[in-house]
């Protein structure tokens, strides 16, 4: 048969997955990388659709069929160059994006029941293998203008903004309060999804392109915003969304109740050997754990607790599995590793027992009619209360943006939810704040969302900055 029928001869192969009994005791990526042969075979399954739904569903609109063809043809360096034209962090997005909800979910083969092309696995293969073979971003034609931009935040939005700026001859200096770049890529996402040497390699790549990093530096504490505004031609803000969201029920502040993000950061820093003096390591070994929430952060907490040796992990979510916000792939991985799920459960309270343990009171819910966005609200059923005995509860209800204390005096406006207000992507200087010298993008603008959307907005803001600088 011709190449167009390769999908009938070759099965979907996202890379061999480490068996659950082995992977649940280590903090390492669970999907093995594709070798050159497997990557080429997966690329050959692509139908090269005339209207590629995968590309439209991708938030950065990657040229997916095009770089799949290049991989198939063995043109690895060309594939690396092309993947970076739309995405500043392709090897990271290939690991942490919910492809099952985005490009692979939209793949024509997936819709036809043949199994999607393993787009994410090929995407990370391209940069991983090209780097090993000596590929580096080509900066030979870049002429630097003498302009420089301060980038606040070394997370995905900030890194993407810096990438586009430096490729266009503007010097970015990236400030971050943490000791490593990456933001939540480094400190929030567990290593079984993203090993940290991948982020360190991206730092080496960006520094080789001319990006400067000033770490352990917090704006408003170590450097004032006024200094950046006076010394730089523009400022980009990509500080993310770190404000913990509570459920509003009694007992959330009891000892033994943990916030999701500090718990995940503590665990990563234990492995990095960078836990600050005075911060005790958090271990759930031998503990009975209840995780409240149904997003990807909740899945990260579930699977981290399992790897720490928790005796039992139960995840309770107020809607059913079909209507949960997290990746189906991550839920499946959590189930394989031993996490128990309670669907359609609304937390009512957390109470302390006489022996110091905890008791979570939950009510069953039913799903009402869809709202304007198609989301079905969870309605509590009366007289349906159940209790779960546990040692620790992790609250994973998500995060929201929060204005810094220097926003007001800098003329930066926010909405009632703390999100930074910017001009539209269709405007002349897109992602510009109320202070014309300051631009912003990512979670602090849209609220907590996917890494790939933060990348897109960082890149878009860089285009706005370049236009504003003339």
CATH superfamily of 3-132: Alpha-helical ferredoxin (1.10.1060.10)
CA dihedral sign, ordered 215, 220, 221, 222: positive
The domains spanning 3-132 and 246-395 adopt the same CATH topology: no
Phi, psi (rounded to 5 degrees) for 116 = -60, 155
Cβ–Cβ under 8 Å, residues 360 and 256: no
- What pLDDT is stored for residue 250 in this prediction? 97
- What pLDDT is stored for residue 442 in this prediction? 97
Which parts of the chain register pLDDT below 70? 1-5
213 DSSP 8-state letter: E
Q: Give the class (CATH, top level) of 246-395.
A: alpha beta
What residue ranges do the domains of the chain occupy? 3-132, 148-242+399-469, 246-395
Per-residue CA distances from 100 to 87, 299, 450, 455, 470 (Å): 18, 15, 13, 19, 40
Terminal alpha carbon distance of the chain:
54
* Interval 422-462: pLDDT, tens: 999 888 899 999 999 999 999 999 999 999 999 999 999 99
Distance, CA of 458 to CA of 230 (rounded, Å) = 22
* Interval 206-230: pLDDT, tens: 999 999 999 999 999 999 999 999 9
- What pLDDT is stored for residue 4 in this prediction? 59
- What pLDDT is stored for residue 1 in this prediction? 33
Q: Give the class (CATH, top level) of 148-242+399-469.
A: alpha beta
Per-residue CA distances from 28 to 194, 251, 272, 436 (Å): 8, 34, 13, 44
């Amino acid at each position: 048969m011709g190449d167009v029928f390769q999908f009938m001869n070759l099965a979907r192969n996202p890379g061999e997955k480490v068996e659950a009994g082995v992977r649940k005791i280590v903090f390492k990526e669970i999907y093995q990388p594709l070798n050159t042969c497997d990557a080429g075979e997966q690329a050959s399954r692509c139908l090269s659709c005339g209207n590629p739904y995968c590309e439209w569903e991708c938030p950065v609109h990657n040229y997916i069929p095009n770089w799949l063809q290049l991989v198939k043809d063995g043109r690895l360096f060309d594939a690396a160059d092309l993947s970076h034209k739309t995405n500043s962090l392709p090897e990271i997005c290939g690991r942490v994006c919910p492809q099952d909800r985005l490009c692979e979910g939209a793949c024509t083969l997936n819709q036809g029941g043949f199994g999607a092309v393993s787009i994410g696995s090929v995407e990370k293969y391209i940069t991983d293998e090209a780097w090993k073979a000596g590929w580096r971003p080509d900066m030979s034609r870049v002429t630097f203008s003498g302009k420089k931009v301060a980038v606040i935040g070394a997370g995905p939005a900030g890194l993407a903004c810096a990438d586009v700026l430096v490729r266009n001859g503007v010097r970015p200096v990236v400030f971050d309060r943490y000791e490593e770049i990456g933001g939540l890529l480094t400190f929030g996402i567990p290593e079984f999804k993203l090993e940290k040497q991948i982020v360190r390699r991206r730092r080496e790549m960006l520094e080789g392109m001319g990006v400067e990093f000033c770490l352990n530096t917090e704006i408003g504490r170590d450097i004032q915003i006024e200094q950046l505004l006076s010394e730089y031609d523009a400022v980009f803000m990509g500080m993310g969304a770190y404000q913990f969201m509570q459920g509003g029920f009694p007992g959330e502040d009891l000892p033994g109740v943990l916030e999701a993000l500090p718990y995940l950061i503590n665990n990563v820093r234990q492995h990095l050997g960078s836990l600050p003096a005075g911060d005790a390591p958090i271990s759930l070994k031998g503990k009975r754990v209840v995780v409240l929430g149904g997003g990807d952060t909740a899945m990260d907490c579930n699977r981290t607790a399992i790897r720490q040796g928790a005796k039992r992990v139960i995840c309770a979510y107020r809607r059913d599995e079909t209507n949960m916000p997290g990746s189906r792939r991550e839920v499946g991985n959590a189930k394989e590793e031993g996490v128990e799920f309670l669907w359609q459960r609304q937390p009512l309270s957390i109470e302390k027992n006489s022996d110091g343990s905890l008791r979570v009171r939950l009510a069953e819910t039913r799903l009402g009619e869809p709202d304007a966005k198609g989301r079905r609200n969870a309605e509590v059923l009366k007289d349906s209360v159940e209790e779960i005995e546990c040692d620790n509860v992790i609250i994973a209800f998500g995060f929201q943006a929060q204005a810094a204390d220097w926003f007001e005096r800098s003329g930066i406006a926010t909405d009632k939810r703390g999100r930074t207000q910017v001009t539209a992507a269709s405007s002349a200087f897109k992602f510009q704040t109320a202070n014309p010298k300051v631009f912003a993008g990512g979670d602090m603008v849209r609220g907590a969302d996917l890494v790939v959307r933060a990348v897109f907005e960082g890149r878009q803001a860089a285009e706005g900055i370049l236009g504003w600088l003339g």
